[in-house]
Structure 1
Amino acid sequence: MNPTGTVATPRRPAPEDPMTTAPAPAPPAGAVRRMRRPGTARTRIVAWALALVLVSLGVVTLVTWRLLLQDTDTRMRAALLNEVQEFGSVVADGVNPRDGAPFASVGEVLDAAIAYNQARPNEKFLGYVDGEFAYQSRRADAAPAVLQNDPAFTGLVGGVTAPVQDTYESTAGEVLYLAVPIEFADPAGSTGVIVAAYLADAEREPAHSTARIMLLVGALTSLLAAGGAWLVAGRILRPLRDVAATARSITDTDLSQRIPLAPGPDDGDELRDLVRTVNAMLDRVETGVDAQRRFVDDAGHELRTPITIVRGHLEVLDARDPADVTSTVELVDDELDRMNRMVSDLLLLARSEQPRFLHPELTDVAELTEDVFGKIVKLGEREWVLETAARVDAEIDPQRVTQAIVALADNAVRYTRPGDRIALGSQLAGGQLRFWVADSGPGIAEADRARIFERFARGTSTGPRSEGAGLGLSIIRAIAVAHGGQVLLDSVVGRGATFTIAVPAILPEESS
């Protein structure tokens, strides 16, 4: 008997079969890979949803089943105690309720007590006299007769001298019983025991049936849930399929395809946000590829021009004419210099997109402005004016800023005439550090203001045409953007233009 009072039936371990216990041969590596290969995302979603439903169903069914069993066991134990109390009330006054005469023997006490207590289904009342079975409940639908013919049970309860409540494993399953000795002075010296017993397994059957019904209903519900999850997963994953289809349709020559976005609310929809993000990325990729194509086309065109010029002059060169040779060499050297400057500018623009393009350091902006002004006054005979210099120290790359200001000043010289005014200045305003170059040249037309910052672009304004490749303003903008700023343009046709490099002012206390 184990600590819970039940009789534990030992089980003999099954003999090991060498044919079945031998380790199975390992499957081929390819088969393992096929077995471990995951299914589609839709299948995995349905599998996880179904697994969660089944786990939830199992937990609910198990908890419900255990609670029903616990309630059944509690009810049976309470009923046994109640039956014993009823036995006591029947025989308490020592008078046989059948004829009103005093009890003459223990047998009459047991017979009366059992006869006047109604047995419930799966419940049994038994009486034992001198350790032998003598009486049982006579209700037709009472528990089957399995205990009165069981010698082991008779020996267990027939001679108890104190109340005993325990369990017993019978041929009909577990039995929960309460055996109480009869306190009656029998003239013949006989002893009696009355037993109230429940066939526990039979009494617990409704709980088992309820659990089986829950499992059956849960299984059907799980199948419906799996079907619903399959449909829902298909709708949820449709944008991902659209992403894959769009990605497959994009080629090197056609980047115009976009993922369709169905109408609907945008708040908190991660998949709609994914579609918008991917479409925005495709927009940037298409824009970048188009810009790269234009850049390659423009670079090829710009480089083809000096090559054509050099080839044309070399083809008509008269090697016997020293003057022709000298002039041709000078022209070739000039064109090669122009090509070298163009290639250098292209390399500079390419490096501007790299992290180490800038080398910022704490710089005295006023001193930098004055030094740059001293350099640009040698670019041409103009009316040079230093309007103001910001008295502040800031984290910038002084060499790149100098390069950008000098390029703006050189551009201003090209589009102005001797004696025209060109002003330089720097100022700290609104958290930005501003460097500007203002000229009194022909100005820039409204249609050209955005285009002139593109690579190989030139303005259409009247005035002398630049001999450069149209990369100067692109380099200036790249330097400003690398600093986290921008280039601003303010111009009135016929009255000049002002280019301003505006970058965030990183002051010493901010950088520390």
Structure 2
Amino acid sequence: MTTVPTTTTEPAGVLGALRARGARLRIVAWVLLLVLASLAVVTLVTWQLSVRATDERMDAALRTEIDEFTGLTASGRDPSSGTPFGTVDAVLRTAITYNLARPNEKFLGYVDGVFRFQSRQQSPVLLSADPAFAALVGPVATPTAGSYASAAGEVRYLAVPVTLAGSPQRGVLVAAYFADQERAGADEAALLMVGVGAVTAVLAAVGAWFVAGRILRPVRAVADTARAITETDLSARIPAGASRDEMGALVAAVNAMLDRVEDGAAAQRRFVDDAGHELRTPITIVRGHLDVVDPGDPADVRDAVALVDDELERMNRIVSDLLVLAKAEQPTFVRTEPTDVDALVHETRRQAERLADRAWGVLSSADGFVAALDAQRITQALLALADNAVAHTGPGDRIVLGATVTGGVVRLRVSDTGSGVAEADRDRIFARFARGSGSRRSDGAGLGLAVVAAIAAGHHGRVELSDGIGSGRPGETGPGATFTLVIPWRAS
């Protein structure tokens, strides 16, 4: 007993879902990255501006305090008693007493480098007990601004020397700000922005997830539809929504492409079936006659050879027309060059006269007119129309070739007085392997008019069908038919 090995494959739908989710995650990741980067830049810039504004405010406040001290002591008298200051200590005590310190601000007074006075406001650390700070500000001889790294962080200060006439003491008044504490508001605002930014990023990620899902839905539908299409079933289509944006246009374009592919595949199948049928018939006829031919009877052999020659000629015409129709799909099918239209029509009539005994004629008003045409293809189309007219007429019927130039187009016509084209046949006779019901012969493959339509399309034109030159007049066999090649004469 043999065991057939089995393999487990992941369903295509799961793979498609994973791929779609991967794209969805990438979109969300990029959106989240952009949001976080934007929030980071905004938060950093806002925090920097807030810190700079706080520093400028502290420096301005320090200058204001010193200006107030200068104005208070400029007279040299104690504002409470009106008596002159007797010592530097008195000056410092008065200045610190009359100036109210703001939060995170501190006033200190030094005499001969030794701390003597300070404002009453609480401070994170005692600068008065810091010998390094005293050594920094105590000896200054000119107004000095600076920054000091204390145990509580940065301290921004402005130290001004104080002297009194007749007193040997050298004092220093210091206005100081605990900068890190003063900047706490900016730091808290930055932290709040970070928190709000985090919430915003989460909301943006959630929104991006749903938006990406909606955006990628048509893409998933395209992939699902592509997987649903097989060699034998091309009917699957992408569900079309109400969206008119780029995705809606994509869905419409893909569905239109699938329609063309399905129509082309169906036409190809019909073409192959019809071609096989048309070629199989003469082959069957030839084989049937060869099977019953009597090699000893010269007359029977001659008849068989004649029949085989006729059927081979018929197959040759079918193959030639099929090759023309195949080349019609190529861009080099038509090669135009300046062509004398009137001369082309007269030359084609001379060639058509050999097709059958008919009353051939030319009716042209394009004398001397030159248009960009592929003369060989146009001649081929007119001869095919002439041959078609022969098939629908009898001896003595008229077949007229004509040419006119009107409205920027060249009209090349083949008219006859034959049986005409039935209304039921007019919409289908230009299809491949289609035959009209009024034909006097059955050896055609139904490709002639399809070739004519292909040649007209190659010149950016068309074929029109109307009644012929008979129109039931006395002495004429029928209304006839007129096939007209309508070609823009500027076509290249």
Residue of structure 2 in register with 1:296 after alignment: 272
On the 8 A contact 2:365/2:405 being kept in 1, the answer is: no
Residue of structure 2 in register with 1:319 after alignment: 295
1:443-454 → structure 2 map (5 Å cutoff): 443-454=420-431
2:402 to 425, 444, 450: 425
Q: Residue type matched to 1:252 in 2?
A: E
2:487 to 483, 499, 503: 503
Residue of structure 1 in register with 2:13 after alignment: none
Cα deviation digits, residues 228-269 of structure 1 (max 9, x gap): 11112112211111111111111111111111113x353xx1
Whether 1:127 aligns to 2:109 is: yes
On the 8 A contact 1:146/1:170 being kept in 2, the answer is: no
Whether 1:91 aligns to 2:73 is: yes
Partner secondary structure for residue 169 of structure 1: strand
Q: Residue type matched to 2:335 in 1?
A: H
Whether 1:137 aligns to 2:119 is: yes
Cα deviation digits, residues 420-476 of structure 1 (max 9, x gap): 121111122112121111111111112211211111110123x40341211111111
On the 8 A contact 1:348/1:475 being kept in 2, the answer is: yes
Residue of structure 1 in register with 2:416 after alignment: 439
Cα distance in structure 1, aligned partners of 2:423 and 2:141 = 117
Percent of pairs identical after alignment?
58
1:65 to 35, 41, 47: 47
Q: CA RMSD in A?
A: 1.8
Q: Normalized against structure 2, the TM-score is what?
A: 0.91
Comparing 322-331 with 492-501, greater Cα deviation is found at 492-501
5+ residue gaps, structure 2? 1-18, 472-477
Q: 1:38 to 1:190 in 2, by over 3 A?
A: farther
Shift of 1:150: 2.5
Q: 1:46 to 1:361 in 2, by over 3 A?
A: same
On the 8 A contact 1:385/1:421 being kept in 2, the answer is: yes
Cα distance in structure 2, aligned partners of 1:405 and 1:398 = 10
1:386 to 346, 362, 367: 362
Shift of 1:495: 0.4
Partner secondary structure for residue 293 of structure 2: coil
Whether 1:473 aligns to 2:488 is: no
5+ residue gaps, structure 1? 1-36
Cα deviation digits, residues 178-197 of structure 1 (max 9, x gap): 11112422x33111111111
Q: Normalized against structure 1, the TM-score is what?
A: 0.87
Residue of structure 2 in register with 1:211 after alignment: 190
Q: Residue type matched to 1:414 in 2?
A: A
1:10-25 → structure 2 map (5 Å cutoff): none
Partner secondary structure for residue 129 of structure 2: coil
Cα distance in structure 2, aligned partners of 1:395 and 1:254 = 43
Shift of 1:67: 1.5
On the 8 A contact 2:418/2:481 being kept in 1, the answer is: yes
Shift of 1:407: 1.1
Partner secondary structure for residue 484 of structure 1: coil
Residue of structure 2 in register with 1:243 after alignment: 222
On the 8 A contact 2:146/2:158 being kept in 1, the answer is: yes
Partner secondary structure for residue 433 of structure 2: coil
Cα distance in structure 1, aligned partners of 2:448 and 2:319 = 12
On the 8 A contact 2:50/2:186 being kept in 1, the answer is: yes
Q: Residue type matched to 1:242 in 2?
A: A
Residue of structure 2 in register with 1:179 after alignment: 159
Partner secondary structure for residue 276 of structure 1: helix
On the 8 A contact 1:370/1:389 being kept in 2, the answer is: no
Cα distance in structure 2, aligned partners of 1:182 and 1:420 = 135
Whether 1:402 aligns to 2:379 is: yes
Residue of structure 2 in register with 1:47 after alignment: 29
Residue of structure 2 in register with 1:488 after alignment: 464
Cα deviation digits, residues 103-136 of structure 1 (max 9, x gap): 1111111111011111111111111111222211
Q: Residue type matched to 1:235 in 2?
A: R
On the 8 A contact 1:146/1:172 being kept in 2, the answer is: no
